[in-house]
Amino acid sequence: MVASSMPVRDVEWFGSPAQRARVWANRGANGIDGTIATATGMAAVSDAPVWVLLGDVALVHDSSSLAQLAARGLDVRIVVVDNDGGGIFSFLPQATQVETSRFEQLFGTPHGTDLVALATAHGLPASSVATTAELVAAVGRPGPWLVRVPSERAANVGHHRALNDAVVAALDGAITQG
């Protein structure tokens, strides 16, 4: 299960097509509506674990579903990318054309929520990771659980630009040689 906004785009852009995984997504008002509730329903009718990749705003928006997931004890494994707001908007022109505090108020929408505390308050085991090794270790156990992956919006934009630049350079090289 992949929430809309940056998670679904990152899976589309950078996910391996060789992997034989089913990818599901909601398409509500903004696509973030009920992501955890949907994953809980999927897990209730499946014998396989259900993985969820979502951003912090989608998690906060559907946080009441954490209690239902915890109560049911289903094997749902939530990975939340926490950039304290709507990271996708940092990719748009207004990110550099609007004064920073105004941009944050209108587009960044930082919430300041401690997502690990939010999950545990709803009875769901949760942790935060800082390294790839910690993430790999955290996701290797059965759910239900939530793992918070901190992210910085400006750095995320920079990483995407670097990857896109590398692809363009590789394609330019292939075209000029071919």
Mean of the per-residue pLDDT values of the chain: 88
What value does the mean pLDDT take over residues 66-83? 96
Per-residue model confidence (pLDDT) at position 137? 92
User: Please, what are the domains in the chain?
Assistant: 6-152 (3.40.50.970)
* The model's pTM: 0.86
Whole-angstrom distance, CA of residue 169 vs CA of residue 177: 12
Whole-angstrom distance, CA of residue 51 vs CA of residue 67: 17
Token pair listed for 28: 């509500």
> Bigger pLDDT: 9 or 60?
60
Inform me whether the pLDDT recorded for 106 exceeds 90: no
Whole-angstrom distance, CA of residue 38 vs CA of residue 100: 35
Residue with tokens 């920073």: 100
DSSP state of 5: T
DSSP 95-154: HHHS-HHHHIIIII------HHHHHHHTT--EEE--SHHHHHHHHTS-SSEEEEEE--HH
Per-residue model confidence (pLDDT) at position 165? 86
Per-residue model confidence (pLDDT) at position 31? 66
Which residues lie closer than 8 Å to 8 by C-beta, 6 or more apart?
A: 2, 25, 31
Most confident option among 4-18, 24-38, 113-127, 158-172: 113-127
